Every structure is written in structure tokens, then in C-alpha cells.
Amino acid sequence: MEKYERWKDSIDGVLHDLAVVGDVTEVDEESRYLIARTLLKLPKNVRRRVLEEVTFVIAGGAYGTLVELNLGAYVMDRLIKSGKIDPSNRASSVTYSDLLNIDMGLPLIILNFAAMEGKSKREKMAIIAHEIAHYVLGHHKPFSSGGDKAEKEADDLMEKWGFPPAYRTTRPRGKTR
């Protein structure tokens, strides 16, 4: 078990558990690796929660892409992996009405790596951590705080994780936290 836990906390374990939607190109593989490296810098409980609950969408430099994402099968797979559904137990077979009562929110973190062109790996990892911080803070939920307050909260949390601020540098000069 200890060996498995070490593997889960390795780059290979994180890449294995990472849910990513996007093109399968060399650039996207580099992006997956960067996301995984960012996740490895997070506290273990945060990393495991994100790996269980979040899907990353890689938006690259392509002009356009058409992807058919079968959300029904995708959501079922995520529910099975999370233990909310046990497919081996026929008594627990899920009906449509059961599915309506399960929280099937599909949190997506969309990362446009084409827009990050020219930024260092450290800066890209800070941006990824910032977006993860938004998720951890619940900013994706209806009626959550938004605007500058949400950006500051996300920057503050990612700084606690050891990343430099991602967006604070874009604020007007002379403004303090």
C-alpha cells in the first residue's frame, strides 16, 4: 500500500489520474505535464480533491477543434471512479431519476496555453495554480464572490501554496492588498 501511495504522489501517478480534454499533440502533452507538476506542488488533500473532481480543458493554438464529449458516459465513469456508483452491485443499478438526484456538476478548468505563449514555466504554473485556487475557493458556484475580490482570494491561496501571484501584477500601480 505504501508503494502505491508513493506512486499516487509521483508525476506518473498524477498524470494517470489527471482528467484532460484537448488535442493530443506534443504541445498538449507538455501542457499535461505542466498541470501535473503544478498539482504536485499543492497540498496532498487539495491535489487529490482536484484529481477526483476537476477536468482540465486544454485550449491550444489551433484555429478550431470539434470534439464530441459524451458527457453521459464521461460522468458515469467519474461517478464510478469516485465510488458514488458501484457497477458490480446489481441492487445499486442507477436509474435516470437516480442520476438526476446526484450532483453531476462537471467542474472544468479551461487553460488557454496559446495565450500563455512567451511566459516562463514558472509563470504558467502560477496561472494553473491560480485557476485551481478559484475552484478550491468555490468561485465556480453560483452566487460566489467575483471580480477583484475573487482574484485576490485566489492569489492569496496560491501564494500559501508557494506560487508567485499570477494576476496581482496587472493591477494599477500604487494599489496595495
Taking only the tens of pLDDT, the chain with its 177 residues reads 799 889 988 999 999 899 887 766 666 788 899 999 999 999 999 999 999 889 888 876 555 544 444 555 656 666 677 666 666 665 555 555 555 455 556 788 888 888 888 999 999 999 999 999 999 998 877 656 678 888 899 999 999 999 998 776 444 444 444
Does residue 83 fall inside a structural domain? no
| CB-CB contact of 135 with 54 (8 Å) | yes
Write down the pLDDT at residue 23.
60
Write down the pLDDT at residue 141.
72
Does residue 132 fall inside a structural domain? yes
CA distance 143 to 151: 15
Write down the pLDDT at residue 94.
55
Q: Which residues contact 74 (CB under 8 A, 6 or more apart)?
A: 106
Among 138, 146, 168, CA closest to 155: 168
Does residue 174 fall inside a structural domain? yes
CA distance 68 to 154: 32
What are the backbone angles phi and psi of residue 147, rounded to the nearest 5°? 65, -150
Name residue 110's beta-bridge partners: 57
When divided into structural domains, the chain yields a total of: 1
Does residue 72 fall inside a structural domain? no
Q: Which residues contact 135 (CB under 8 A, 6 or more apart)?
A: 50, 53, 54, 107, 109
Does residue 164 fall inside a structural domain? yes
Dig out the grid coordinates for 118 from the structure. Answer: 512567451
Supply the range of the domain harboring residue 153. Answer: 119-177
Query: Exposed, middle or buried, 161 (CB in 10 Å: 0-12/13-18/19+)?
Result: middle
- Residue entry with cell 462537471: 106
